[in-house]
Protein backbone atom coordinates (compact mmCIF):
# COMPACT_ATOMS: atom_id res chain seq x y z
CA UNK A 1 0.00 0.00 0.00
CA UNK A 2 1.40 3.40 -0.98
CA UNK A 3 0.67 6.26 1.42
CA UNK A 4 1.42 9.68 -0.10
CA UNK A 5 2.94 12.30 2.18
CA UNK A 6 4.37 15.79 2.24
CA UNK A 7 7.14 16.42 4.72
CA UNK A 8 7.41 19.84 6.35
CA UNK A 9 8.98 21.25 9.46
CA UNK A 10 8.19 24.08 11.81
CA UNK A 11 11.46 25.17 13.42
CA UNK A 12 12.91 21.67 12.88
CA UNK A 13 9.90 20.02 14.53
CA UNK A 14 9.05 17.79 11.56
CA UNK A 15 5.74 16.39 10.36
CA UNK A 16 4.39 14.21 7.58
CA UNK A 17 1.04 15.29 6.20
CA UNK A 18 -1.29 13.09 4.17
CA UNK A 19 -4.60 14.07 2.63
CA UNK A 20 -7.25 12.26 4.67
CA UNK A 21 -8.97 10.92 1.54
CA UNK A 22 -5.71 9.16 0.54
CA UNK A 23 -5.66 6.86 3.59
CA UNK A 24 -7.86 3.80 2.95
CA UNK A 25 -7.33 2.10 6.33
CA UNK A 26 -8.59 2.68 9.84
CA UNK A 27 -5.64 1.36 11.88
CA UNK A 28 -4.08 4.79 11.99
CA UNK A 29 -1.99 4.36 15.14
CA UNK A 30 0.10 1.54 13.67
CA UNK A 31 0.52 3.47 10.42
CA UNK A 32 1.62 6.57 12.36
CA UNK A 33 4.27 4.58 14.24
CA UNK A 34 5.52 3.01 11.00
CA UNK A 35 5.69 6.14 8.87
CA UNK A 36 7.32 8.25 11.62
CA UNK A 37 10.06 5.69 12.35
CA UNK A 38 13.39 7.35 11.50
CA UNK A 39 15.06 4.07 10.49
CA UNK A 40 12.39 1.98 8.75
CA UNK A 41 9.92 4.71 7.85
CA UNK A 42 10.11 8.24 6.48
CA UNK A 43 10.87 9.76 9.88
CA UNK A 44 9.12 12.57 11.72
CA UNK A 45 7.97 13.80 15.11
CA UNK A 46 4.37 13.35 13.99
CA UNK A 47 1.99 12.38 11.21
CA UNK A 48 -1.05 14.41 10.29
CA UNK A 49 -4.21 13.84 8.27
CA UNK A 50 -5.45 16.92 6.44
CA UNK A 51 -9.11 17.17 5.45
CA UNK A 52 -9.66 20.24 3.28
CA UNK A 53 -13.45 20.13 3.65
CA UNK A 54 -14.54 23.44 5.11
CA UNK A 55 -17.23 23.97 7.70
CA UNK A 56 -18.70 26.61 9.98
CA UNK A 57 -15.79 28.80 11.04
CA UNK A 58 -12.98 26.68 9.58
CA UNK A 59 -11.29 26.02 6.25
CA UNK A 60 -9.82 22.57 6.98
CA UNK A 61 -9.43 19.95 9.70
CA UNK A 62 -6.30 18.20 10.91
CA UNK A 63 -5.90 15.02 12.94
CA UNK A 64 -2.47 14.56 14.50
CA UNK A 65 -0.58 11.48 15.65
CA UNK A 66 2.68 11.47 17.60
CA UNK A 67 5.51 9.20 16.55
CA UNK A 68 4.42 6.68 19.23
CA UNK A 69 0.91 6.49 17.74
CA UNK A 70 -0.78 8.57 20.44
CA UNK A 71 -3.13 11.34 19.40
CA UNK A 72 -2.50 14.75 21.00
CA UNK A 73 -4.92 17.62 21.02
CA UNK A 74 -2.69 20.18 19.32
CA UNK A 75 0.69 21.04 17.86
CA UNK A 76 1.57 24.67 17.26
CA UNK A 77 4.41 23.86 14.87
CA UNK A 78 2.37 21.15 13.14
CA UNK A 79 -0.62 23.41 12.61
CA UNK A 80 1.62 25.98 10.93
CA UNK A 81 2.86 23.23 8.60
CA UNK A 82 -0.72 22.40 7.65
CA UNK A 83 -1.37 26.10 7.07
CA UNK A 84 1.55 26.24 4.65
CA UNK A 85 0.05 23.43 2.56
CA UNK A 86 -3.29 25.23 2.50
CA UNK A 87 -1.58 28.50 1.55
CA UNK A 88 0.40 26.73 -1.21
CA UNK A 89 -2.90 25.70 -2.76
CA UNK A 90 -3.76 29.36 -3.19
CA UNK A 91 -6.05 29.63 -0.20
CA UNK A 92 -6.50 32.49 2.20
CA UNK A 93 -3.97 34.75 3.82
CA UNK A 94 -5.94 34.12 7.01
CA UNK A 95 -6.42 30.39 7.58
CA UNK A 96 -8.73 28.72 10.09
CA UNK A 97 -7.90 25.12 11.00
CA UNK A 98 -10.01 22.86 13.18
CA UNK A 99 -7.83 20.89 15.62
CA UNK A 100 -8.41 18.61 18.58
CA UNK A 101 -8.15 21.75 20.73
CA UNK A 102 -10.67 23.76 18.71
CA UNK A 103 -10.41 26.09 15.73
CA UNK A 104 -7.10 27.93 15.42
CA UNK A 105 -6.69 31.05 13.30
CA UNK A 106 -3.42 31.75 11.52
CA UNK A 107 -2.23 34.85 9.73
CA UNK A 108 0.56 34.94 7.16
CA UNK A 109 3.25 37.28 8.47
CA UNK A 110 5.74 36.88 5.64
CA UNK A 111 6.40 34.57 2.72
CA UNK A 112 9.92 34.24 1.37
CA UNK A 113 8.69 31.87 -1.35
CA UNK A 114 6.15 29.09 -1.81
CA UNK A 115 8.35 26.75 0.26
CA UNK A 116 8.51 28.81 3.45
CA UNK A 117 6.21 31.12 5.38
CA UNK A 118 6.05 32.78 8.76
CA UNK A 119 2.66 32.50 10.45
CA UNK A 120 1.19 34.08 13.54
CA UNK A 121 -1.16 31.60 15.21
CA UNK A 122 -3.79 32.53 17.76
CA UNK A 123 -3.22 29.89 20.44
CA UNK A 124 -6.27 31.03 22.40
CA UNK A 125 -6.59 31.82 26.08
CA UNK A 126 -3.87 29.92 27.93
CA UNK A 127 -4.69 28.83 31.47
CA UNK A 128 -2.22 28.51 34.35
CA UNK A 129 -3.47 25.48 36.27
CA UNK A 130 -0.94 25.55 39.13
CA UNK A 131 1.60 28.36 39.49
CA UNK A 132 3.63 26.63 42.21
CA UNK A 133 3.56 22.87 41.69
CA UNK A 134 6.03 20.23 42.84
CA UNK A 135 6.60 17.48 40.27
CA UNK A 136 9.30 14.82 40.63
CA UNK A 137 10.96 17.11 43.16
CA UNK A 138 11.07 20.07 40.73
CA UNK A 139 9.46 23.47 41.07
CA UNK A 140 6.98 23.65 38.18
CA UNK A 141 4.20 25.63 36.54
CA UNK A 142 1.31 23.56 35.17
CA UNK A 143 -0.27 25.13 32.09
CA UNK A 144 -3.17 24.25 29.80
CA UNK A 145 -2.12 25.41 26.33
CA UNK A 146 -4.74 23.35 24.51
CA UNK A 147 -2.67 20.36 25.62
CA UNK A 148 -1.02 19.69 29.00
CA UNK A 149 2.24 21.51 29.69
CA UNK A 150 4.60 21.31 32.65
CA UNK A 151 7.13 24.16 32.62
CA UNK A 152 10.22 23.88 34.84
CA UNK A 153 12.27 27.05 35.51
CA UNK A 154 15.98 26.16 35.70
CA UNK A 155 19.28 27.98 36.09
CA UNK A 156 21.02 25.88 33.42
CA UNK A 157 20.71 22.64 31.46
CA UNK A 158 23.68 20.92 33.09
CA UNK A 159 21.63 17.97 34.31
CA UNK A 160 19.93 15.02 32.64
CA UNK A 161 16.87 16.98 31.63
CA UNK A 162 15.86 14.32 29.09
CA UNK A 163 15.53 11.66 31.79
CA UNK A 164 13.76 14.20 33.98
CA UNK A 165 11.37 15.06 31.15
CA UNK A 166 10.57 11.39 30.57
CA UNK A 167 9.87 10.90 34.28
CA UNK A 168 7.65 13.98 34.47
CA UNK A 169 5.77 12.97 31.30
CA UNK A 170 4.62 9.82 33.10
CA UNK A 171 4.15 11.34 36.58
CA UNK A 172 0.89 10.17 38.24
CA UNK A 173 -0.24 13.79 38.41
CA UNK A 174 -0.82 13.62 34.64
CA UNK A 175 -3.19 10.74 33.81
CA UNK A 176 -2.93 11.54 30.08
CA UNK A 177 0.82 12.30 30.33
CA UNK A 178 2.22 15.77 29.77
CA UNK A 179 4.60 17.81 27.66
CA UNK A 180 7.59 19.17 29.55
CA UNK A 181 9.66 22.31 28.97
CA UNK A 182 12.74 23.46 30.85
CA UNK A 183 13.08 27.24 30.71
CA UNK A 184 16.07 29.40 31.53
CA UNK A 185 15.54 33.19 31.72
CA UNK A 186 17.94 35.23 29.59
CA UNK A 187 16.51 38.72 29.99
CA UNK A 188 13.13 40.37 30.52
CA UNK A 189 11.91 39.34 27.06
CA UNK A 190 13.91 36.16 26.30
CA UNK A 191 13.89 32.61 27.61
CA UNK A 192 15.99 29.62 26.52
CA UNK A 193 13.97 26.37 26.44
CA UNK A 194 14.47 22.63 25.99
CA UNK A 195 11.56 20.37 25.16
CA UNK A 196 10.44 16.86 26.04
CA UNK A 197 7.20 16.17 24.20
CA UNK A 198 4.57 13.65 25.19
CA UNK A 199 4.65 10.79 22.69
CA UNK A 200 7.69 12.05 20.79
CA UNK A 201 10.49 12.62 23.32
CA UNK A 202 13.10 15.31 22.75
CA UNK A 203 12.22 17.74 19.97
CA UNK A 204 14.17 20.64 18.50
CA UNK A 205 11.31 23.01 19.23
CA UNK A 206 7.66 22.99 20.22
CA UNK A 207 4.95 25.51 19.48
CA UNK A 208 2.66 24.61 22.37
CA UNK A 209 5.71 24.03 24.59
CA UNK A 210 7.03 27.49 23.77
CA UNK A 211 3.60 28.93 24.50
CA UNK A 212 3.37 27.14 27.83
CA UNK A 213 6.93 28.15 28.79
CA UNK A 214 6.35 31.81 27.88
CA UNK A 215 3.06 31.96 29.79
CA UNK A 216 4.69 30.24 32.78
CA UNK A 217 7.62 32.68 32.72
CA UNK A 218 5.25 35.65 32.55
CA UNK A 219 3.11 34.26 35.38
CA UNK A 220 6.24 33.82 37.52
CA UNK A 221 7.32 37.37 36.56
CA UNK A 222 10.64 36.23 35.14
CA UNK A 223 9.73 37.41 31.62
CA UNK A 224 7.21 39.70 30.03
CA UNK A 225 5.46 40.03 26.67
CA UNK A 226 6.63 39.95 23.97
CA UNK A 227 8.70 36.85 24.69
CA UNK A 228 11.36 35.43 22.39
CA UNK A 229 11.71 31.70 22.99
CA UNK A 230 15.21 30.54 22.08
CA UNK A 231 15.08 26.88 21.02
CA UNK A 232 17.77 24.53 19.63
CA UNK A 233 16.19 25.19 16.22
CA UNK A 234 16.09 28.96 16.49
CA UNK A 235 13.66 31.51 17.89
CA UNK A 236 9.88 31.42 18.20
CA UNK A 237 7.97 34.51 19.30
CA UNK A 238 5.06 34.89 21.72
CA UNK A 239 2.81 37.88 22.15
CA UNK A 240 0.73 37.56 25.31
CA UNK A 241 -2.57 39.37 25.59
CA UNK A 242 -5.94 37.96 26.62
CA UNK A 243 -4.88 35.27 24.13
CA UNK A 244 -1.41 34.04 23.25
CA UNK A 245 -0.11 34.60 19.71
CA UNK A 246 2.71 32.37 18.46
CA UNK A 247 4.83 33.37 15.46
CA UNK A 248 7.17 30.96 13.74
CA UNK A 249 8.17 29.39 10.42
CA UNK A 250 6.85 26.50 8.41
CA UNK A 251 8.91 25.05 5.57
CA UNK A 252 8.23 22.49 2.86
CA UNK A 253 10.78 19.65 2.61
CA UNK A 254 9.63 16.92 0.22
CA UNK A 255 6.81 14.88 -1.30
CA UNK A 256 6.84 11.11 -1.56
CA UNK A 257 5.18 7.75 -0.94
CA UNK A 258 5.54 5.47 2.06
CA UNK A 259 5.18 1.78 1.25
CA UNK A 260 3.13 0.38 4.12
CA UNK A 261 2.58 -3.31 4.83
CA UNK A 262 4.23 -6.48 3.67
CA UNK A 263 5.20 -6.95 0.04
CA UNK A 264 3.43 -9.96 -1.43
CA UNK A 265 5.36 -11.64 -4.27
In this structure, is the dihedral angle defined by the CA atoms of residues 61, 80, 145 and 233, taken in order, positive or negative? Answer: positive
Q: Compute the mean pLDDT over every residue in the chain, rounded to the nearest whole number.
A: 95
Task: Say yes or no: 28 and 75 in one domain.
Answer: yes
3-state secondary structure of 29: helix
Task: Say yes or no: 80 and 140 in one domain.
Answer: no
Decide if 264 is inside a domain: no
93 pLDDT above the threshold of 90:
no
Mean pLDDT of all residues in 26-30: 92
In 3D space, the residue among 180, 133, 189, 179 whose CA is nearest the CA of residue 157 turns out to be 180
Task: Say yes or no: 104 and 44 in one domain.
Answer: yes
Task: Say yes or no: 108 and 147 in one domain.
Answer: no
Between 27 and 179, the more confident residue is 179
Task: Say yes or no: 74 and 99 in one domain.
Answer: yes
Task: Say yes or no: 131 and 225 in one domain.
Answer: yes
Contact present, 21 and 3 (Cβ < 8 Å): no
3-state secondary structure of 76: helix
Domain limits for position 146 = 127-241
> pLDDT grade, residue 90 (50/70/90)?
confident
Domains in the chain, number: 2
265 pLDDT above the threshold of 60:
no
Mean pLDDT of all residues in 94-109: 96
> How crowded is residue 187: how many other Cβ atoms within 10 Å of its Cβ?
8
| Beta strands 13-19 and 190-197, pairing class | unpaired
Task: Say yes or no: 253 and 188 in one domain.
Answer: no
pTM of the predicted protein model: 0.94
145 pLDDT above the threshold of 60:
yes
Task: Say yes or no: 191 and 85 in one domain.
Answer: no
Task: Say yes or no: 149 and 170 in one domain.
Answer: yes
Task: Say yes or no: 80 and 139 in one domain.
Answer: no
Task: Say yes or no: 110 and 131 in one domain.
Answer: no
| CATH of residue 136 | 3.10.310.10
Amino acid sequence: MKIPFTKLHGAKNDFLITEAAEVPITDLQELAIAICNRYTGVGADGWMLLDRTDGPGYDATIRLFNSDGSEPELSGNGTRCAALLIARAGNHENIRIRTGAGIKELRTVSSANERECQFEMNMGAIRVVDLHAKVQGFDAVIVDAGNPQCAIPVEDFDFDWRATGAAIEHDPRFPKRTNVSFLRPIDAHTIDVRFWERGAGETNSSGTGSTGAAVAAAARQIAQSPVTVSTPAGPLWLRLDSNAYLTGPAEYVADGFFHYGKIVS
